[in-house]
Amino acid sequence: MTKTALVTGATSGIGKATAQILAKNNYKIILCGRREDRLEALEKELSDFTEVHTLSFDVRDKKAVFESINSIPEAFSTIDVLINNAGNAHGLDPIQNGDLDDWDAMIDINVKGLLYVSKAIIPQMIERKSGHIINIGSIAGKEVYPNGNVYCASKHAVDALNQAMRMDLNPYGIRVGAIHPGAVETEFSEVRFKGDTEKAANVYKGFEPLHPEDIADIIHFVVSRPYHVNIADLLVLPTAQASATILKRDI
């Protein structure tokens, strides 16, 4: 039977590539994000392969999260796979210089947003005693690096929530796992550096970073394992990266 996947942060980067690969592999897709023009363009593109529904909401807005998810039409309402991907870093400053709005954004999006979306979808998975949740963490959830402070804390929280969800949802046969990427070239650094494209490009200079499709491919592998297999936790790095701060750059 055709499965349905809901992907948050589908307007860009890892989420967009994940929606694309799942659509081409016969999943019905619910695309989520704030930028409606991008949602519409991706819906058009993926409609050649599958049925697509779009939901435009800010994961920080708990009312909007629940209203949007409750508005999903019948044909998409059984969500088999939830990809909790929406997230970003805002700023890269020492703790003493941190911007409070940046801190709010990272905690509200990466942690509370992931919780709201999960809370809106988990009850139907419990009722059916089936479902698969993939949480997108980060190497920043496994290590802390200088100036990464609040972003790292938010991704450590994702790591903790991933483990906690797996425990609490275990009695219901719901699979929960996290994928923790290292450097992936997406709009991530542009957002982190507030539109400074030169600074963002420098992050990926002198080595081949992961491409969003590399992570999407792994997500597809994870969700297509037989039911008795749950890939619980994966750290995925570019070959040139040994840790959050050790990178072999040819420059």
Task: Spell 14-31 as b/e; 16+ CB within 10 A means b.
Answer: bbbbbbbbbbeeebbbbb
How many other CB atoms sit within 10 Å of the CB of residue 11? 24
Interaction between residue 244 and ligand 8X3 (CB under 6 A): yes
43, 45, 51, 58: which one binds ligand NDP (CB under 6 A): 58
The least CB distance from residue 13 to ligand 8X3, in Å, is 11
Helix, coil or strand: residue 245: coil
- When CB distances are held under 5 to 8 angstroms depending on the partner's kind, the choice from ligand 8X3, ligand NDP, none that residue 54 binds is none
Cα gap 36→11, rounded to integer Å: 9
Rg (CA), the chain: 17
Span near ligand NDP by CB under 6 A; candidates 11-19, 142-150, 226-234, 239-247: 11-19
Query: What is the rounded distance in angstroms from the CA atom of residue 191 to the CA atom of residue 11?
Result: 14
**Candidates 19-27, 34-42, 53-61, 133-141; binding stretch for ligand 8X3 (CB under 6 A):** 133-141
Window 81-120: contact mask with ligand NDP (x via CB under 6 A): ----xxxx--------------------x-----------
In the complex, least distance from residue 185 CB atom to ligand NDP, rounded to whole angstroms: 7
What letter does residue 236 receive in the DSSP assignment? E
Which is it for strands 52-56 and 233-236: parallel, antiparallel or unpaired? unpaired
Q: For residue 110, give the nearest of 55, 182, 160, 175 by alpha carbon.
A: 160
27 is catalytic: no
Instruction: Check residue 177 for interaction with ligand NDP (CB under 6 A).
Output: no
Closest CB 82 distance from ligand NDP, rounded Å: 14
| Four-residue CA torsion sign, 179, 183, 186, 192 | positive
Question: Which single residue brings its beta carbon nearest to ligand 8X3?
Answer: 138
Interface residue list for ligand NDP (CB under 6 A): 8-15, 33-35, 58-60, 85-88, 109, 136, 138, 181, 183-184, 186-188, 191, 212
Which residues are part of the catalytic machinery?
Answer: 151
